[in-house]
Amino acid sequence: MHERNEKIFAMRESGATYSKIAKDFDICIERARQIYLRLKELKDNFDSYPTFKKRLSKRVQHALTSYYGSEEILENPRIIAAISPRELEKIPNIGKISMHEIARALREAGRVGR
């Protein structure tokens, strides 16, 4: 899905119409527009996101902020690193895949922070 969305973005950036994109990917025009605008917003604002937060999907970000009541949890990966796997399992919408995503993000953020 990620590759498809990147292709849609590239087509639009190179001047393709939403109608052409929709036809090529067998989606509706509105969906083509949504995909392009979402990726454009992400790319335009990428540098303004905190380093750790950039590495987490929106779903995982939402699960963590909902559970802990604030986006501050995403601004300090050390807090998340200190949470036990058992505690993470208690968070709604955090399963094995999300835990792997969090672990990967922590590893990557650790490399950048050194």
Rounded mean pLDDT of 83-88?
Answer: 86
Rounded Cα gap, residues 48 and 104, in angstroms? 21
Rounded mean pLDDT of 71-98?
Answer: 87
Which pTM value belongs to this model? 0.55
Rounded Cα gap, residues 112 and 114, in angstroms? 6
pLDDT band at 29 (very low <50, low <70, confident <90, very high): very high
Quick count: other Cβ atoms within 10 Å of Cβ 110?
A: 13
Question: Which pLDDT tens digit goes with each residue over 35-79?
Answer: 999 888 877 766 666 678 888 999 999 999 999 898 888 887 888
Where in the chain are the domains? 2-46, 51-113
Rounded Cα gap, residues 70 and 14, in angstroms? 39
pLDDT of residue 80: 86
